Amino acid sequence: MLGSFGTSLNIEGIKNNMAKKTIIANWKNHPESLAQAQEILDFTNDYLDSLGDFRELSLVFCPPFVFMEEVAKILQMSHFEHEAFLGAQDIAAEDKTALTGEISGPMLKRLGVDYVIIGHSERRWKLGESDEVVNHKLKTAIENGLTPVVCIGEKVRDGGFGKFIEDQVLKTFKGLGPDQIKRCLIAYEPVWAISTNPGAKPDTPDSSLESVNIIRDVLIGNWKLEIRNLPRVLYGGSVSSKNAADFLNRKEFSGVLVGGASVNKEEFVKILEITSKIK
């Protein structure tokens, strides 16, 4: 199933909003120590220092909660002050809740968080988060003034993947208005392409754009969003230095959501180096 929102329209309608690439580092439950986190950030900062006044990328670091306060302090220093933001990997569905282990929106705001990942495939498929739960978390993030990074993607690439994506988008964004949706980032995450999943195979830009066009079709058709107001889209299916350029060179993608590669300092800087060369 192909979306009717064609590639030529994508480029013409959104290219001005996608010049600056966004690289989101989702550290998941790594690294093992604050010293290792500091090492990743120092290595990244040294690379940014070598770029001088380059301002064509922005970074979002999403560390585990235990490192968040210290990472926030580091991001206020040196080149990170201009290029980097603090992100959270999750948020409680409700601010006023007594659920063990949950982290509320106000808590995240007090720590200096600007972005929050919503509906990551691991939370959807491995921890059982439903579209309804993801929808509640998305609304809570917006109510707290956070920028949601909304993960959308099919588990299998079969004949029904287009309908699956359409349903997922409708349920995930249910009850939101156009002004709220355009504040989001969308991370297209083809679950079948993620290397930690059995039988994973790499995705390609052309294949992923079939899904991205479906997402945009749904947003245009159901929320009457204009092309210039559509959320920016990132690619997030096992991003590495080997495939980052394939997606970053396409105008339809505003950046990448990086998982495991973001805690390998050399690999992560290779991705940033690739990004710095995008024209």
pLDDT tens digits for range 168-180: 999 999 999 999 9
pLDDT at 279: 73
Model-level pTM? Answer: 0.91
- Give pLDDT tens digits for 136-165: 999 999 999 999 999 999 999 999 999 999
Please determine, for residue 119, whether its predicted confidence score (pLDDT) is greater than 60. Answer: yes
Q: How confident is the model at residue 9 (pLDDT cuts 50, 70, 90)?
A: very low
Q: Active-site positions?
A: 120, 189
Q: What is the mean pLDDT of residues 111-138?
A: 97
Token duo for residue 243: 């495939």
Residues 6+ apart with CB under 8 A from 48: 54, 78, 79, 80, 83, 272
Q: What share of the chain is helix, strand, coil (3-state, %, to 5)?
A: 45, 15, 40
Measured CA distances, 98 to 93, 102, 135, 137, 243 (Å): 11, 8, 20, 16, 42
Which of 44-48, 116-120, 156-160, 237-241 has maximum average pLDDT? 116-120
Residue-level pLDDT at 199: 72
Confidence class for position 55, pLDDT limits 50, 70, 90? low
Tell me the average pLDDT of the chain.
90
The residues pairing with 86 across neighbouring beta strands, listed in sequence order, are 61
Q: Residue 248 carries which side chain, given as an amino acid letter?
A: L
Tell whether the model's pLDDT for residue 192 goes beyond 80. yes
Which band of pLDDT confidence, cut at 50, 70 and 90, is reported for residue 188? very high
Residue 135 has pLDDT above 90, yes or no: yes
Determine the straight-line distance between the first and last CA of the chain, rounded to whole angstroms. Answer: 31
Question: Greater confidence, 67 or 6?
Answer: 67
> Where exactly are the structural domains of the chain?
7-276
Q: Is pLDDT at 245 greater than 80 in this prediction? A: yes
Count other C-beta atoms under 10 Å from residue 49's C-beta: 10
Cα dist. 143→19, 26, 139, 260 in Å?
A: 28, 23, 6, 30
What's the mean pLDDT in 19-32?
A: 94
Q: Which pLDDT belongs to residue 225?
A: 93
Question: Average pLDDT for residues 190-201, to the nearest whole number?
Answer: 82
The model's pLDDT over 72-109, given as tens digits with 9 standing for 90+, comes to 999 998 788 888 999 999 999 999 888 899 999 999 99
The CATH architecture to which 7-276 belongs is Alpha-Beta Barrel (3.20)
CB 171 within 8 A of CB 221: no
